[in-house]
Amino acid sequence: MEIVPSPDVIGAEIYGVDLAQPLPDAEFGRIEAAFNKHAVLCFRSQKVDEPQLIAFARRFGAVERIFLTHYAHPTYPEIMLVSNIKESGRDIGHADAGRVWHTDMSYTTRPPRATMLYALEVPAENGVVLGDTLFSSAADAHDSLGQERQQRIAKLRAIHQVAGRRARTGTGQEDQALRYQQPAVVHPVVRTHPHTGRKCLYVSKGESEGIEGMPQDEALGLIEELADHTVDPRFRHIHHWRVRDLLMWDNCAVQHLASHDYEWPKHRRLMHRITVGGTVPV
Ligand code: OGA
Ligand code: MN
C-alpha cells in the first residue's frame, strides 16, 4: 500500500489496496492513520459493489441513514444516491448536495465522523471533468488564528439548524418540509478532533444560525467571519473526480463544497454516498 500526500495541507491518495476485499487489520490501521492525518483520502480505480462499500465503511464505525430517505438506494438504504439524473421526470438521488460550504449534518447531535462518495458516473465536457468537490482544513484554519482570537472564541457555542439560513439561499427547496422537522442543536464553535486532538473551527454559513448568549447581529457577523476564514484558499484541496474514485472525508477536520458546474440532461453525475457515525462534538 502506498500513501501519496497531496501538496495541499489536506488530502492524500492511496494506492495498492483493493477495497472490494476484506482488509487485514494492519492495512486498515494504516488507512485509518492516514485518514486522521490527511482528512481527505482518495482511492482510485476501485471496483466496489454496494455490500463492499458498506463493509468498508463499517470498519470506521456504525453506518448511518440519512433523514432524506427518498434518496436512499432502493436495495441498500445505508447508501444514498447523490445524482443529477432524472428518471421519468423525477430526481433519482440528491441533486442539490453541498451547494454551500458545510460539514455534513452539523445540525445533528452526533454528526458523522466520515462521509464516503463512490463515483459511478462523472460529468465531463471537452475532456474537462466537471463537478469537482472542494475541501478546506478547519484545523489549519483554527491554527492560523492569532492566540487572542482563539481565546475569544474558545468557549462559544453555535446553534445549527438545517432549515435555517440555507432556506434563504434558495437551495434545496424541495426538501424543506423534511428539513423543518429537524430540531436545532448546539455545538462548540471550536471542536477538538476526537482522534488527533487538533482544534477545528466548526461553524458554516449554511447551517450555523446563531451563537448562544450573543446578540444575533454580532453572532451572524462572527459566524460569517469564521466561516469565511475556514474556507480561505490557503487551506484548500480540490478533488477532480474520476469514475471509480472512492473519496472519504473527515467531517470534523474539513468543510466541503460541491461545484455545480454541470447540468442535466447534458451531463450525468452519480455517486453512492455513505456516512459513518461520529461522536458528540466537544
Ligand atoms: C455530500 C456532498 C459534494 C459533492 O454528499 O455530502 O456535499 O461534490 N457532496 O457531491
Ligand atoms: Mn456534504
Residue 45 CB neighbour total at 10 angstroms: 11
The answer to whether residue 281 is domain-embedded is no
Q: Which domain holds residue 249?
A: 2-276
State pLDDT tens for residues 119-168: 999 999 999 999 999 999 999 999 999 999 999 999 999 999 987 665 55
- Give the residues of the chain that fall short of pLDDT 70: 164-174
The answer to whether residue 61 is domain-embedded is yes
Instruction: Name the residue at shortest CA distance from atom 5 of ligand 1.
Output: 97
The answer to whether residue 102 is domain-embedded is yes
Ligand 1 centre from 244 Cα, in Å? 16
The answer to whether residue 199 is domain-embedded is yes
Residue 56 CB neighbour total at 10 angstroms: 25
Q: Structural domain tally of the chain? A: 1
What pLDDT, on a 0 to 100 scale, did the predictor assign at position 172?
Answer: 53
Give the atom of ligand 1 at the shortest distance from the alpha carbon of 132: 8
Instruction: Name the residue at shortest CA distance from atom 7 of ligand 1.
Output: 98
What pLDDT, on a 0 to 100 scale, did the predictor assign at position 180?
Answer: 75
> Is 204 close to ligand 1, i.e. is its CB under 6 Å away?
no
What pLDDT, on a 0 to 100 scale, did the predictor assign at position 163?
Answer: 75
Amino acid at 132: D
> Is 273 close to ligand 1, i.e. is its CB under 6 Å away?
yes
Give the atom of ligand 1 at the shortest distance from the alpha carbon of 94: 5
Give the atom of ligand 1 at the shortest distance from the alpha carbon of 269: 10
Cell 482522534, residue located: 195
H helices present in 21-175, as ranges: 25-38, 50-58, 138-143, 147-153, 165-169
The answer to whether residue 136 is domain-embedded is yes
209: which DSSP letter? E
CATH assignment of the domain containing 123 = 3.60.130.10
